Structure 1
Amino acid sequence: MSNMNTNSEQVVDNNSCIDERYRVYASISFAILLIGIGVPLWWQTTAVPRVPLPYTGISALSNLNTSIRSRILIASSSHARGELLTAYIKNALQNSTLYKLDISYTAIPENRVNSAFSTHEHEKIASTTFNLRAGDLLLLEAPNLYTIVIGSNRTIFFPVKTNGAKLVQILSQVILREKSLVLTRDALTEPTKYSLDEENRRRFPASSTFDILLTLVNPHPEQLKVKWNLAALTKDYLEPFLNQLSLMANFSVKSQWLYLMPLDITPKQIPDSSPSGKHYALLEDILPQLITPLEKKLASQVSLYPCINLVMYIVPCDGSPLHIYTRTGHRSKPLNNYVEAFLSPRWGGVVISNPPPEACKEASRLTNGTVDVIPNHVTMMGVFLAQLKLLLGIPQPDELSGVIISPLDELNLRAWELDALLRIRAIEQLTSAKLTLQSLAQLLEKISNIVITDTVGNRINYALELVQRAANKLHDGELEEGFVLSKEAFLTAEAAFTDPSLLALLYFPDDQKYAVYIPLFLPVMIPVLLSLKNIKRYFF
């Protein structure tokens, strides 16, 4: 009987051991599944996707040397005079911080330059004798000229007795404009330390596309009927001019008419000696007040791109003639007896067109009907084009004594003006791209829960490459190629910075993630963690 009890106890002990072993193995399997597989899988699936970025390369952009190489060729029939001018200009411009100037001298046959008397003939000699690329400049001695002439095709013609100081002044203030370029770069890099000059405040920021809105405002169409074909004027004047700037940006030209829109301010009446005995004055200080009511009606914000407004305001007869007065109380220099104009920085330009007195007299005799008014389209469009040049960043040449700037042929831009525009836009775009990449890298490195997708990562890497390539092209003197690369770098960096995916998890930080998942995992984890104690006791 005792043997039977002993066997029964052994069987029970064996069964208990087997059950305990199964429970331990089950606990081990649960722990492995939950801790070894479940937790890493949860961590991986809830981790913020972040593509590796070239932080070191972006940080090195602060030391990137941005310089523009330019070739200046001095041509003279006298070897001694040419060498003297070359040495003087080299010495005067050797401390340039932005430019890398290659200044050299070449001889030109005396009989060749002696046969030219007009600027056009000198331009022909320069174009057929020398091969000038974008950014290059030719200083050609012209014995038959009595004053210095800045040509239209990267050329400066100077008389025999011209000294080197005058040529250096022209190069510094008209052609190279290094101070403005350096200020543009420094003001973008350290805006709190440097303040922009008038040229930089007036110019529109860099963009891939600009909208140009041409608007004609006629407050009293029942009195004066303006005979203008805006579509034809746009095609004849604006389009040929903008086609020359196609490398810089794309342009979309629109036009509109606004009626029954008087001024919100009352001009001051001033007596004079004219037949009417009076005229009306707009003080320079209140000109911005004209922009506010216009802005409400112009519909200039229908596009995502910057809009350049060109407005022509037809003055009604009861307020004509209307003239602009400066802050000192003097009448501003008019374009002619009927046209006044002013510019609003980074907004556009306004042209005030006074109707002819005979048209107002005829309108006063008519009880019903309108009088046709035909503004001088050559003058008006000439003003608009001049305003466009300033707003887009084409520098306005400084007036220098003893220097004449060759007049433009039709609507063509001067080649050296276009080169100056490419330089300043290349510096602006390259600096902006560098700052955008550095700001974005700093933001992404500091905030760890921002998503960095493959698209954003590729854009950042490509923009970094473009910045370096653009700087190399400018340093090698390839102005157009460097500008194109700087433009692409600017657009790519902006696209990366404004990518919507960067905001995907910005408002879902890690503490909220743990607050959501811990209540789900904790009830499951407690039994598993407690079972680890039994597993340890079973084996040890």
Structure 2
Amino acid sequence: MSDNSGSVGYDTPSDASYRIYASISFAILLLGVGVPLWWHTTAVPRVTLPYDGIAQLSNLDIKISTRILVAALTENRAKLLVEEINRELKSAELYNLQISHAVISSNLISSAITIHDLEKIAINFDVQVGELLLLEVPNLSDGVLAGSHRTIFFSPEASGLKLTQVLSNWILLNKSVALTRNALAEPTQFSLDKQNRRRFPASSAYDVLLTLVNPYPDKLTVDWHLPNVIKEYIEPFLDELSVVANFTVKSQWLYLVPLDVTPKQIPDSSVLGRHYALPEDVLPQIITPLEKKLASQVSLNPCINLVMYTPPCDKAPLHIYTRSGHRSKTSSNVEAFLSPRWGGVVIANPPIESCIDVEDNQMVTFSPEASSIMGVFIAHLRLLLGIPDKEPIPGAALVRLDNSKPREWELDALLRIRAVEQLTSAKLTLQSLAQLLEEISNIVITDTVGDRINGALKWVEDSADKLRHGKLMEGFASSKEAFVTAEAAFTDPSLLALLYFPDDQKYAVYIPLFLPVMIPVLLSLRNIWRYFFSKTEENETNKGELTEETKEIDKPKTD
């Protein structure tokens, strides 16, 4: 009894061991399992990105190799033209021109009578997409004549300087292409020119919305079948540009939408004795209220608006006046104006014959002339999509188009400028996204975003390589894929998953939860340390004492 009572309040060696091992198990579970598991479950998932490859895009040199064949009647003439063109276009910033020459027989050219015959002869030279043929033609009325295919005809009197002007201003558009790249890369130093400001930004798809506005249907009936007009005029033109982007054509009628401005009545010598003037300064005031009614935002794609406005007889004819006070130079019944990156508006006035002796409540039926109105709309589409009007060059002319389709070299020029625009935009998007993801470490980077970034980087490099080797169509297709993929990565909604839950907030939430549990465990580590290391020191001490005793025993006795 006395022995058992004497042990009350004291730990046996086995109890101390149990406590120590329990503390060790708690520490292992909390520090070895709990903390790593918490860190893993609260960590932001981030896929590894090719930051080095994206950084090297700053050194990416965009060069478009373009093959030009000069076919002249004599060897000396061909060589001289090649030297002059090379000398004048050597400063083209984005072009690597590969100009060669060939000698043709005068008998071959003399057999051609019309331009159509000449273009048939040019087909034998097998000019591919992005390439160009300069063909010398005797007895050509114009010094230089740009054909509907990839051929430029020139007379024996045409100089290399004149050919260079046509190449630079009409076909290669080297200044506009370079400005497109520079303005995207450094918008504070370079401002867009008129062509770039008017052209719609690059996109993989566009909506073309044809709207007929009849503000007074009780006074005027418009006899027009929009689907037939679209199929006959607009679709053939857009089919030729289908390689550039996907186009969706829509049509609608709007009634009871009058102009938001009051035109000024001006007396004249016509049968009606008056017409109405619409100053050029108030044209933006027409578009703003009209935009609310067009329903052009039903799609995420950019919308190209083509609006035809038909005024009734008591408010017609309606003419647009320039700032200088003169009427715009259009046909008698059609007035039009263009709004950059929005669309075009055509004012189709009813014929004067239909409006003579019309009573106030009498209904008038109006059948618009489709060819003139759709010709204006096609001209608007060309400008809005990036096919600019050709500045006049003395001694140079264009072959008249028989239909609404663009010339082949115009399409090539559009592919070049769009390729540079898309390639530059994709490069800048990737660099901006990489910088953002490096600076903000708590943004989620999913596998989808990572695959898009890697894919866009690959497409950018592939496009630049193909353009450098003269493969315009393939290079444009790769630049389009790079642009679409980079935009999809940049606008992916998963990038905002943890943007507003940074690390300091994460610690502020979890530390009050784990700290009360961690304190006893951390304090028990000292007891664990003392338990094991005190035993080690005690064993070493006992071992040393035992060694001394052994030495004393083994020491020989002397008298």
Partner AA of 2:388 in structure 1: P
Corresponding residue of 2:288: 292
Partner AA of 2:504 in structure 1: D
Question: Within 2, Cα distance between the matches of 1:151 and 1:80?
Answer: 25
Question: Within 2, Cα distance between the matches of 1:114 and 1:452?
Answer: 67
- Say whether the 8 Å CA contact 2:219–2:361 is kept in structure 1: no
Corresponding residue of 1:455: 448
Corresponding residue of 2:333: 338
**Runs of 4+ displaced beyond 4 Å:** 7-15
Corresponding residue of 2:108: 112
TM-score, structure 1 normalization: 0.96
- Cα gap change, 1:257 to 1:13, in 2 (>3 Å): closer
1:490-529 to 2 correspondences below 5 Å:
490-529=483-522
Deviation by residue 1:335-393 (Cα, 9 ceiling, x = unmatched): x11111000001100001111111112532x754x221111100011111110111111
- Say whether the 8 Å CA contact 1:75–1:141 is kept in structure 2: yes
Partner AA of 1:353 in structure 2: A
Corresponding residue of 2:556: none
Partner AA of 2:524 in structure 1: S
Corresponding residue of 1:157: 153
Q: Report the more deviating stretch, 294-303 or 273-282.
A: 273-282
How much does 1:93 deviate?
Answer: 1.2
- Say whether the 8 Å CA contact 2:344–2:380 is kept in structure 1: yes
1:343-354 to 2 correspondences below 5 Å:
343-354=338-349
Question: Within 2, Cα distance between the matches of 1:38 and 1:435?
Answer: 43
Secondary structure of the residue aligned to 1:363 is coil
Corresponding residue of 2:51: 55
> Aligned-residue CA RMSD in angstroms?
1.6
**1:404 aligned to 365, 377, 397, which one?**
397
Q: Which runs of 5+ in 1 are unaligned?
A: none
1:93-112 to 2 correspondences below 5 Å:
93-112=89-108
Q: Does 1:433 align with 2:429?
A: no
**2:463 aligned to 467, 470, 473, which one?**
470
Question: Within 2, Cα distance between the matches of 1:427 and 1:234?
Answer: 31
- Say whether the 8 Å CA contact 2:211–2:308 is kept in structure 1: yes
How much does 1:73 deviate?
Answer: 0.5
How much does 1:529 deviate?
Answer: 1.1
How much does 1:11 deviate?
Answer: 7.5
- Cα gap change, 1:15 to 1:259, in 2 (>3 Å): closer
How much does 1:80 deviate?
Answer: 1.1
Q: Report the more deviating stretch, 461-470 or 85-94.
A: 85-94
Partner AA of 1:472 in structure 2: D
Deviation by residue 1:502-538 (Cα, 9 ceiling, x = unmatched): 0111111111111111122111111111111211221
- Cα gap change, 1:18 to 1:10, in 2 (>3 Å): farther
Partner AA of 1:425 in structure 2: R
1:26-45 to 2 correspondences below 5 Å:
26-45=22-41
1:526-537 to 2 correspondences below 5 Å:
526-537=519-530
Q: Does 1:328 align with 2:324?
A: yes
Deviation by residue 1:379-415 (Cα, 9 ceiling, x = unmatched): 0111111101111111221111111100112222100
How much does 1:132 deviate?
Answer: 0.7
- Say whether the 8 Å CA contact 2:313–2:350 is kept in structure 1: yes
Question: Within 1, Cα distance between the matches of 2:500 and 2:135?
Answer: 65
- Say whether the 8 Å CA contact 1:216–1:256 is kept in structure 2: yes
Q: Does 1:419 align with 2:412?
A: yes
Q: Which runs of 5+ in 2 are unaligned?
A: 534-559
Bigger Rg, structure 1 or 2: 2
1:15-414 to 2 correspondences below 5 Å:
16-127=12-123, 129-147=124-142, 148-334=144-330, 336-364=331-359, 367-368=361-362, 370-414=363-407
- Say whether the 8 Å CA contact 1:223–1:363 is kept in structure 2: no
Question: Within 1, Cα distance between the matches of 2:489 and 2:378?
Answer: 35
- Say whether the 8 Å CA contact 1:123–1:151 is kept in structure 2: yes
Question: Within 2, Cα distance between the matches of 1:428 and 1:387?
Answer: 21
How much does 1:69 deviate?
Answer: 0.5
Question: Within 2, Cα distance between the matches of 1:13 and 1:361?
Answer: 123
Identity level (%) = 64
How much does 1:272 deviate?
Answer: 2.2
Q: Does 1:442 align with 2:435?
A: yes
Partner AA of 1:144 in structure 2: N
- Say whether the 8 Å CA contact 2:464–2:475 is kept in structure 1: yes
How much does 1:9 deviate?
Answer: 9.0
Deviation by residue 1:404-436 (Cα, 9 ceiling, x = unmatched): 100112222100000011011101100000000
Secondary structure of the residue aligned to 2:358 is helix
Secondary structure of the residue aligned to 2:12 is helix
Question: Within 1, Cα distance between the matches of 2:257 and 2:46?
Answer: 55
- Cα gap change, 1:367 to 1:292, in 2 (>3 Å): closer
How much does 1:96 deviate?
Answer: 1.9
- Say whether the 8 Å CA contact 1:114–1:144 is kept in structure 2: no
